[in-house]
Structure 1
Amino acid sequence: MATFVSTETPVLYGSPPSPVMPTPSSKLSISHQIGIAILVIAFVFGFPGNLFVVWSVLCRVRRRSVTCLLILNLAVADALVLLSAPLFIRFLSQSTWEFGTTLCKTVHYLCCVNMYSSIYLICLMSMDRWLAVTKPFLSQRLRTKKRLLSVMLGIWVMAFLMALPMPFYRSSLMVRPNVYICMPYHWKDSAHEIFQYLWETVLGFLLPFTFILFCYISVICRLRSAMFQRKGRGNFLILLIIAAFTLFWLPYHLINILQVIGLMQNSTSVLKVAKVARPNVTAFAFMSSSVNPVLYVFAGSSHIRQAGLGFMAKLFEGTNSESGSTRTRSSRGSNAESSVFTKLSVKLGRKGDGAGADPHEETMADLNNRDEMKTLTTLH
């Protein structure tokens, strides 16, 4: 992720650009005021909202589904990244970074970890829906707590590894006497800049989003069949989360692509547009960490009157019954088929044993057998 501070520079690479920063005694610019307002809203609503989600899952939900546990991980990631909001608010209000290079690298690294962990947790949600609908028996075998915890741990480790380029391309630099800016720095080499932004966009958006689209296109096609007419709350919640992530992160990754195009084509006008827009889209992406609790309130509004503060627990518990009902619908046909075969075996066995039976009873048995065979044919 990039800094919240606007920069104006026509050069492709070289010495650190001089940001457009007001002196500490001057009035804050409009862009700084907007940035502060966005961060305050994100922190005030997002931090307690995500803590409420964590409390609801840990203390109020009795049976935690896969979707519920993934939502818990998302809330923890968002709450941690929102802890950095007061630092950025202070930075924008004072027009200087007062916290040193180490904290500059750390907070941006955690923001980048949040981006990767969020999108890949959403990928896991999508894959879980895809397995539950298209391969219910395999889903039932794979849906164990041990496997789920292992996969989530793997996602967190992968997110921390993928975000490693961020601290290498971030530093607190002095732009004027006693004025420090936490800003991107690529060691006077445009190749490093191209690598960073392509790395973020390809691994943090294009690849996982393509996988999510594949999963949900398959799910939608499957749900159109006669046995899967009912959509569950889990699907609705996950679609809301995907839509929110796309809305807030797509502009950021479009600016990444635009800046890479400007660097590769040596176009100063394209670069200027990208660098002017980057602080705004970065602040907009920051809002993604605070919007999910609002979505849960919207999705669970029908439970508020009945459950009070436990309405979110009711919402998350609703995702637990969906996977079970999907598997039940899938197995209903095979259970009925097994029942028919059992009845046929019993009746045919009785017919073979009753050599001296009454002819009328034997005729009735034949009729029953023909009825059972018709039922079996219908099931197929």
Structure 2
Amino acid sequence: MKDLETNKRSAWQDSEMLECVSVVPEMPDTASFSFRAPSGALFDYQPGQFLTLEIPAPVQSGGVVHRTYTISSSPSRPRSITITAKAQADSIGTRWMLDSLRPGMRVKALGPAGLFTNANSSAGKFLLISAGSGITPMMSMTTCMWDEGQDLDVVFINCAKRPSEIIFRQRLEHMASRMPGLDLKFVIEEPDLYRPWSGYQGLFNQLMLGLMAPDYLEREVYCCGPEPFMQAVRDALAGLGFDMEKYHQESFGAPVESAADQPDLDDVVLDDDSSAEISFALSGVTAKCSETDTVLAAARASGLNIPSGCTFGVCGTCKVKKTAGEVHMVHNGGISEDDIEAGYILACCSHPIGKLAVEV
């Protein structure tokens, strides 16, 4: 009888307000807010989509603000819908939710909407890469595949400031302990005080990618996080020859609703047929090469010696100063932002764009 009653329920429409049923703290300034439809309607959406909430705000902010949040729950559990929100220092809407939204209160919501979903993918192997609260759509996708009984082949990478700031860590570890095929990889910038960390540490880079998912070329990639993070992921993948047609991204700062809203990814694409010219100023040598050649390779081909070690952009041994021109550099932590601003490059992972001059 209950199944028959469930089948008769209509799908929730955003003309009906949502009623908060629970607020679960996830970490400082972050909580999961679950809602139900007062009418008993069910939620129909695709994993990875988002809701836009109409939130009361201080009068000086206009009285009402609209904020967009990725749904962290799965459509396979349609009786409720959950968003997970993190308040930044200047948050207005999310701060109000953390301070004031409680079970029983109702809010206006628009959606669900968005194109960032693996619901229609025919891929059998996924690589989900996220940073911070960009983990929310990945949680929705993974839970949905889990609930549907799919044979999972998912490498799930999340990057966070500290281990204590990894959202959904315990829930994901529980899922991974119950079913093979969910391979969790966490990357942190620094460990928590007095709590040793034996996993990956630093900024996500090509070397980590190769260790975490050696078969990345065979996987469909979904990425979500701040734009600089997603840029680093795109650079790492493109530099390793990944087919970027299999790459999908969603910024948690600006989810898109339609294909027309998709931002153009103005990434550098190196071309074997595009020529470049490098002037090694101290040696008086000028070398012609392709954009796909590195400065280090061009120097060696010209009989010049630039000291080098790892050749992967890690050790920093091949740091040289660029005096003119531009390069495309995808390093793995071997050079600081201060050095880059001062004009230094790593020869092993820098590709010349047009004419270039370096102090070699």
Instruction: Indicate the TM-score class for this superposition, using the shorter chain for normalisation.
Output: under 0.3
TM-score computed with the length of structure 2 as normaliser: 0.22
Structure with greater strand percent: 2
> Higher helix proportion, which one?
1
Question: Which structure has the bigger radius of gyration?
Answer: 1
- State the TM-score, normalizing by the size of structure 1: 0.22
